[in-house]
Homo-oligomer: A and B are copies of this chain.
Amino acid sequence: MNILIIGAAGMVGRKLVEKLAKDGTLGGKKIDHAILHDVIMPEAPTQAPFKTECRASDFSQPGEAEKLVASKPDVIFHLAAIVSGEAEQDFDKGYRINLDGTRYLFEAVRQIGGGYKPRLVFTSSIAVFGAPFPDAIYDEFFTTPLTSYGTQKAIGELLLNDYSRRGFFDGVALRFPTICVRPGKPNKAASGFFSNIIREPLAGHEAVLPVPEDVMHWHASPRAAVGFLIHAATMDTAKLGNRRTVTLPGLACTIAEQIDALRRVAGDKVVARIKREPDATIMKIVAGWPRNFNAKRAQDLGFQAEKTFDEIIRVHIEDELGGKIA
């Protein structure tokens, strides 16, 4: 089978590529060929049992999406997006990439026609929700995004549902939890601290906690994220009916619970590297974010996330630190 990954140079995209290269199969079928695409040139996996082709272009430019799907991939992972902060700063760029780019891709698939109907997995986000929330956001709760990014993702979900209902492709839209622990350097994303306070202390560095410890949020590991994508690419979509958007499972926990888990897994010495520096701006942003979900439907559909934050930390230590704590 042939696979196309758009957004293959991002953190989740790279991990998905690694996993596919390790497995060599998807849903029990041998992978023959993978196109890895991003706006910057993605890296090919070092050892893949299939042919990989890396491409860099701006898929929001007219004509680019057509080139990407011309070989009629059986499965398309659409992970490409301008992130929340940038989409808020640059209104036009956010709509161009996150809305127009997505629509060009969907249209390019539709225009092939002739019975071509790939599985198309689209990463959406819990940013489609906006405060005020119920205690746990349920599967039928409405989408009132408070960012342009969330708006663009909610529109992508609607388009994916309509194109799937029409039979132009076989789509699944996944509302990802906040991925934690993100590997790599601390970044300036407002949500960065959720990962920073775990990753940096485990690596022997200090990390800044800008919000109170009672802040609750919704997490899953990078490993769970890859699992979500693979499950969406291989599941029986008949079970989705005409509701092809899935709010994924995750783990709701407070910062205090995150820190307790870090203490259990790595000890007081590591926890002591977290410095409290309250930041009113970040507190205000975080106050508008979802805290907790009841993701019953996704669980019934077989999507799985971690059950404890200890497990999320251990996944990071295994996958990123070779099992070693500094």
Binding site for B on A (CB under 8 A): 91, 130, 139-146, 148, 151, 154-155, 158-159, 161-162, 165-166, 242-243
Contacts and interface: CB of A to CB of B under 8 A. Distances in A.
B145 A158 contact: yes
A146 B242 CA distance: 7
A166 B91 contact: yes
Contacts of A130: 242
| Residue among A148, A151, A166, A243 with most chain B CB within 10 A | A151
Contacts of A162: 145, 148, 151
B165 A146 contact: yes
Contact of A151 (B145, B146, B148, B158): B158
B143 A140 contact: no
Contact of A140 (B141, B159, B165, B166): B141
Of all A-B residue pairs in the complex, the 7 with the closest CB atoms, nearest first, are A151-B162, A140-B142, A142-B142, A151-B158, A155-B155, A144-B243, A154-B158
A276 to B, nearest CB: 31
Given A151-B161, A158-B155, A161-B151, A144 B91 contact: no
Given A140-B142, A146-B242, A159 B151 contact: yes
A244 to B, nearest CB: 9
Given A155-B158, A158-B151, A141 B144 contact: no
Contacts of A143: 142-143, 158
24 contacts: A91-B166, A130-B242, A139-B142, A140-B141, A140-B142, A141-B142, A142-B143, A143-B143, A144-B242, A144-B243, A145-B158, A145-B162, A146-B165, A146-B242, A148-B162, A148-B166, A151-B158, A151-B161, A151-B162, A154-B158, A155-B155, A155-B158, A155-B159, A158-B158
A217 to B, nearest CB: 21
A91 B163 CA distance: 10
A29 to B, nearest CB: 31
Contacts of A166: 91, 148
Nearest to A149: B162
A325 B146 CA distance: 52
Contacts of A158: 143, 145, 151, 154-155, 158
Contacts of A140: 141-142
| Residue among A139, A141, A151, A162 with most chain B CB within 10 A | A162
A151 B106 CA distance: 15
Contacts of A159: 151, 155
Contacts of A142: 139-143
